[in-house]
Amino acid sequence: MFKKIKHISKLSTIVISIIIYIAGVTTYSIWSYYSHKNKILEQVDTKLFEAANSVNYLLPNNYHDRAIAPDSITKIEFLEITDLLSKQNDNLGVKYIYSVVLYNGKLYFTTSSATSEEILTGNNLTYYWQEYTEADTLFYNAFNSSDITYLTYTDRWGTFRSVLIPVTTKLGNKYLACADMEISFIRKMLLYEIPTTIFNTIFLLLIVIPFIITILKIYRKYSDELEREVKHRTTALEEEMRKRKLSEEILRQSEEKFSVSFNRTPVPMFITDSNGIIVDVNESFEKIICIKKIKIIGTNILLIPFFQSAADYEYIKTTILTKGSILNYQMKFLKKNDTGVCSFSGELINVNKKPNILSIVFDLSDSQKYENELKIAKEKAEENDRLKSAFLANMSHEIRTPLNVIIGFSDLIRDEELDKKTRNEYINMITSSSHSLLNLINDIIDISKIEAGQLRISETACNLNQILNKLLQWIEKDKFIKGKGNLEINLLTSLSNAESYVLIDEGRLKQVLVNLLTNALKFTLKGKIEFGYIINNNEIKFYVYDSGIGINKDSIERIFERFKQADDGTSLKYGGTGLGLAISKAIVKLLGGVLWVESELEKGSKFYFTIPYKQLKDNSFKNEDDTTKTEFEINLTNRTILIVEDDDVSFLYLRTLLEKKGANVLHVEDGDEAIEITKTNTQIDLILMDLHLPVTSGCKATQEIHKFLPNVPIIAQTADAQLETREHAFECGFDDFITKPLSSKTLFSVIKHFLK
């Protein structure tokens, strides 16, 4: 084996020597070529300098003091100088000798040689004061320097190696003495050197070939003897390797069985020596400490992020070394960026006749986490049960209170001895309580829609200032009903009426503002309430200020949760369901904004919310105030209106309203009857159709009626106020949609739109 290595070493030495020799010859050849090349280029530059410098002594002494203007040198004198310089071309082996001056920022030839061909043909001859338009920028730079400039450039006469010599005459006139040599001529000179270089290289390579052949013959003789020796030694070595592999395979299989069991087990395990130095860890333990085993083998167990307390480790180690094992010792341990709880077991084992400790870790963190989550879920469920119970009790109060007013004052107005003023006051109280009850029902419906993700936004054009002015009128009236007539209520707006037309869901905006204003009125006993809006970039920022009881800072987040108020005593003292702010926050979010509050106890509250500012430039929308003034002036005399309604009370209400305006009212209770009556009565001007009818639905009836009365408007009326119901109604062919409870204002506004 040693001889083979020695043989290979000798061969390598020979090959390396040959390579070094060839590299040396190649390097010498390249150096020789570039040395001759540089020498030729130096000779070229020397010739160019001599040629350009000859301008100074071949020309008359005062020539360039006279050659300062277009007509200062005669053509005869210029041609004589051209002939003189052309002869100098031939003597020095250059292409052109010439001089140029800089005049008014341009270069002009003052002298120039010419080739024999140019003189004979007259082509490409250069004349006195001919502008040199293709001159390189280095020509211009040379006039500002005293240094000689060598350059390679191309113009219409060819590509040249040139020299520029700045010269100043006795009178201070400056010109450049120049000479050119064609690049092609220089390249021919360089080509003459290549055969010489190649010949020298081949010669140096040939003289070493006999030496290489002799060495190879000696090597071949050596190689045969060495091959026989290597073959013999290889056979013996292969047998030895076979026996060793067999032993290693047996050991490997044994270690692999332990390694698979150790590493694949899902239970974290590690092995340390008696001093706590890590011998091995399994993959599950790597996941706990987030460190690969290769980085911690040989490290003390206390230096890696596992034991939270060194005292735990010392107790475990002492117990195992003295008793041989420890079982189910509970302790805290470090895991990632947290701490966990584990059950620790360990046993003393012998590895290479040395005591080692095999440790097993059972992570109880998830188990405890599930227990804690279960406990929290239980507490949350109990809290929800408590909140639901409180909500139902509070809801019962909130429903019964307006019902008590409605029922009580309904009985009182039956008294025929009541004067008109008192009767009107009772009616106002019944109306106010009815609206409160309706708002409560709407809140319950809205919170259900929010939880189901079905609350929709429908944007329309409206006037912000008109909306807020109506809210001002409402709250001014409501404060007297609530017995708070001393409160000052102010409205501030940022836009003029003409500028306040925006695209928004008017109903939802009113709902949020009514909730905030209702709360402000409820919790303010004295002082003032102020509300309004400002324009902030692309947002409208609404606000409601009050000088009421305020909110504890710890309760600010709580008040936006459903069924919750600032504290449990608030609902008992002031009433309310705890739904208003939760609904308002959800609506504002759907509108594309946020709702928040700034408040302190006894210092009042400031509620803010933002929505996108979608201004409408066209303010030609119908003024709602004008509609309000004229809607009750509608005259339905000689108009026939069909009411399709299965509820007698609802029909009676509608009939009373319509007959007061002079309408001829027809009535049927289901869809089939509606279809039949419209077939026989073609004088019907408008139909009020309930959606939920027995036998045939309002939707199907409308589709059938439109087949033979396509121009009769059919208005859907229903207690189902969901957006999906409205969309479905229009898909069925209804011309408009109104929801119950139905006000006379809404009813006549819709009818007037169709019966103009």
460: CATH: 3.30.565.10
Question: What CATH number is given to the structural domain containing 97?
Answer: 3.30.450.20
Q: Is the pLDDT of residue 190 over 80?
A: no
Q: How many helices (H) and strands (E) does the chain have?
A: 22, 22
Which has more pLDDT, 92 or 462? Answer: 462
With beta carbons less than 8 A apart as the criterion, state whether 539 and 612 touch. Answer: yes
Residue 430 lies in a domain: no
Q: Is the dihedral of CA 457, 463, 465, 468 positive or negative?
A: negative
C-alpha distances out from residue 217 to 155, 284, 446, Å: 63, 65, 104
pLDDT bucket at 227, cuts 50 / 70 / 90: confident
Q: What is the pLDDT of residues 553-572, one digit of tens each?
A: 877 777 877 655 545 544 44
- How many Cβ atoms are within 10 Å of 98's Cβ, its own excluded? 23
Q: Picking from 112-116, 396-400, 644-648, 660-664, which range would have the lowest pLDDT averaged per residue?
A: 396-400
Parent domain of 61: 36-193
Q: Picking from 184-198, 255-269, 323-337, which range would have the lowest pLDDT averaged per residue?
A: 184-198
Give me the pLDDT at residue 389, please. Answer: 65
Q: Which residues pair with 610 in a beta bridge?
A: 541
Q: What is the pLDDT of residues 515-564, one digit of tens each?
A: 999 989 988 988 999 999 999 989 999 999 999 888 888 777 778 776 55
Query: Across all residues in the chain, what is the average pLDDT?
Result: 82
Pick the closest to residue 161 from 151, 170, 169 (CA basis): 151
Which has more pLDDT, 307 or 36? Answer: 307
Give me the pLDDT at residue 361, please. Answer: 86
Which has more pLDDT, 62 or 561? Answer: 62
With beta carbons less than 8 A apart as the criterion, state whether 339 and 333 touch. Answer: yes
Q: Which residues pair with 103 in a beta bridge?
A: 106
User: What's the 3-state SS for 248-309?
Assistant: HHHHHHHHHHHHHHHHHCCCCEEEEECCCEEEEECHHHHHHHCCCHHHCCCCEHHHCCCECC
- 250-257: long-range contacts (C-beta < 8 A, 24 or more apart)? none
Residue finishing a domain among 193, 213, 243: 193
User: SS3 of 660, please?
Assistant: helix
C-alpha distances out from residue 422 to 410, 433, 477, 479, 482, Å: 13, 17, 17, 19, 17
What distance in Å separates the CA atoms of residue 314 and residue 312, rounded to the nearest whole number? 6
Q: Is the pLDDT of residue 157 over 90?
A: no
Are both 607 and 630 inside the same structural domain?
no
Instruction: Report the chain's C-alpha Rg in angstroms.
Output: 54
711 exposure class (CB count in 10 Å sphere: 0-12, 13-18, 19+): exposed
CA angle 44, 48, 54 (to 5 degrees): 145
What distance in Å separates the CA atoms of residue 425 and residue 408, rounded to the nearest whole number? 13
What distance in Å separates the CA atoms of residue 156 and residue 418, rounded to the nearest whole number? 121
Which has more pLDDT, 627 or 722? Answer: 722
Are both 60 and 133 inside the same structural domain?
yes
With beta carbons less than 8 A apart as the criterion, state whether 609 and 598 touch. Answer: no
Are both 604 and 662 inside the same structural domain?
no
Torsion of CA 595, 599, 603, 605, to 10 degrees: 10
Q: Is the dihedral of CA 662, 667, 671, 672 positive or negative?
A: negative
Give me the pLDDT at residue 668, please. Answer: 93
Q: Is the pLDDT of residue 700 over 90?
A: yes
Tokens representing residue 51 in the block: 């040629």
Strands 528-536 and 595-599, sheet pairing = unpaired
Are both 630 and 608 inside the same structural domain?
no
Give me the pLDDT at residue 721, please. Answer: 65
Which has more pLDDT, 453 or 303? Answer: 303
pLDDT bucket at 250, cuts 50 / 70 / 90: low
- 507-512: long-range contacts (C-beta < 8 A, 24 or more apart)? 507/458, 508/457, 508/587, 508/590, 508/591, 509/467, 509/591, 509/611, 510/467, 510/471, 511/442, 511/446, 511/583, 511/584, 511/587, 512/542, 512/584, 512/587, 512/588, 512/595, 512/609
Residue 251 lies in a domain: no
Are both 646 and 575 inside the same structural domain?
no
Q: What is the pLDDT of residues 446-491, one digit of tens each?
A: 677 777 777 778 888 999 999 999 999 999 988 888 888 899 999 9
Give me the pLDDT at residue 393, please. Answer: 59
Give me the pLDDT at residue 531, please. Answer: 96
Residue 436 lies in a domain: no
Span 148-152, mean pLDDT? 89
Tokens representing residue 109 in the block: 């030839």
What distance in Å separates the CA atoms of residue 549 and residue 471, rounded to the nearest whole number? 23
User: Residues near 417 by Cβ (< 8 Å), separated by ≥ 6?
Assistant: none
Q: What is the pLDDT of residues 65-82, one digit of tens each?
A: 898 888 889 888 888 888
16 residue type, one letter: I
Question: What CATH number is given to the structural domain containing 668?
Answer: 3.40.50.2300
Are both 729 and 631 inside the same structural domain?
yes
With beta carbons less than 8 A apart as the criterion, state whether 703 and 696 touch. Answer: no
Q: Is the dihedral of CA 139, 141, 143, 147 positive or negative?
A: negative
User: SS3 of 124, please?
Assistant: coil
Residue 289 lies in a domain: yes
Give me the pLDDT at residue 219, please. Answer: 66
Residue 280 lies in a domain: yes
Within 13 Å of residue 136, how many CA atoms lie on the same side as its CB? 17
Tokens representing residue 167 in the block: 């010269």
With beta carbons less than 8 A apart as the criterion, state whether 544 and 520 touch. Answer: yes
Q: Is the pLDDT of residue 643 over 80?
A: yes
Give me the pLDDT at residue 425, please. Answer: 78
Percent of the chain with pLDDT over 70: 85
Residue 256 lies in a domain: no
354 exposure class (CB count in 10 Å sphere: 0-12, 13-18, 19+): exposed
pLDDT bucket at 579, cuts 50 / 70 / 90: confident
Percent of the chain with pLDDT over 90: 22
Are both 280 and 312 inside the same structural domain?
yes
567 exposure class (CB count in 10 Å sphere: 0-12, 13-18, 19+): middle
Give yes or no for a cis peptide into 166 (omega within 30° of 0): no
Which has more pLDDT, 598 or 756? Answer: 598
3-state helix, strand, coil in the chain (%, to 5): 55, 20, 25
Pick the closest to residue 696 from 721, 722, 716, 670 (CA basis): 670
Residue finishing a domain among 164, 193, 222: 193
What distance in Å separates the CA atoms of residue 201 and residue 21, rounded to the nearest whole number? 12
Q: What is the pLDDT of residues 400-413, one digit of tens each?
A: 777 777 887 787 78
Give me the pLDDT at residue 610, please. Answer: 96
Reported as type and span, the H/E element at residue 35 is helix 2-58
Span 78-88, mean pLDDT? 87
Q: Is the pLDDT of residue 105 over 60?
A: yes
Give me the pLDDT at residue 571, please. Answer: 45
Residue 97 lies in a domain: yes
Give me the pLDDT at residue 626, please. Answer: 46
Are both 96 and 174 inside the same structural domain?
yes
DSSP-assigned states of every residue in 392-414? HHHHHHHHHHHHHHHHHHHHHTT
- How many Cβ atoms are within 10 Å of 200's Cβ, its own excluded? 15
Residue 408 lies in a domain: no
Tokens representing residue 438 in the block: 């309706």
With beta carbons less than 8 A apart as the criterion, state whether 456 and 723 touch. Answer: yes
With beta carbons less than 8 A apart as the criterion, state whether 197 and 175 touch. Answer: no
- 196-202: long-range contacts (C-beta < 8 A, 24 or more apart)? 196/36, 197/29, 197/32, 197/33, 197/36, 198/29, 200/28, 200/29, 200/32, 201/25, 201/26, 201/28, 201/29
What's the predicted TM-score (pTM) here? 0.44
C-alpha distances out from residue 132 to 77, 79, 136, 560, Å: 20, 18, 10, 88
Are both 183 and 40 inside the same structural domain?
yes
Give me the pLDDT at residue 378, please. Answer: 83
What distance in Å separates the CA atoms of residue 442 and residue 260, rounded to the nearest whole number? 66
What distance in Å separates the CA atoms of residue 532 and residue 670, rounded to the nearest whole number? 48
Q: What is the pLDDT of residues 353-381, one digit of tens each?
A: 788 988 888 888 777 777 778 888 887 77
Give me the pLDDT at residue 658, please. Answer: 92
363: left (phi over 0), alpha (psi -120 to 50) or beta: beta
Are both 97 and 188 inside the same structural domain?
yes
Give me the pLDDT at residue 35, please. Answer: 73
Are both 689 and 576 inside the same structural domain?
no
Q: Is the pLDDT of residue 682 over 60?
A: yes
Residue finishing a domain among 193, 210, 227: 193
Give me the pLDDT at residue 641, please. Answer: 94
Which has more pLDDT, 15 or 735? Answer: 735
Give me the pLDDT at residue 573, please. Answer: 46
414 residue type, one letter: R
What distance in Å separates the CA atoms of residue 175 and residue 230, rounded to the nearest whole number? 84
Structural domain count, the chain: 4
What distance in Å separates the CA atoms of residue 38 and residue 325, rounded to the nearest whole number? 88
Q: Give all strands (DSSP E) within 526-685, no chain letters.
A: 528-536, 539-546, 595-599, 605-612, 640-644, 664-668
Are both 700 and 726 inside the same structural domain?
yes
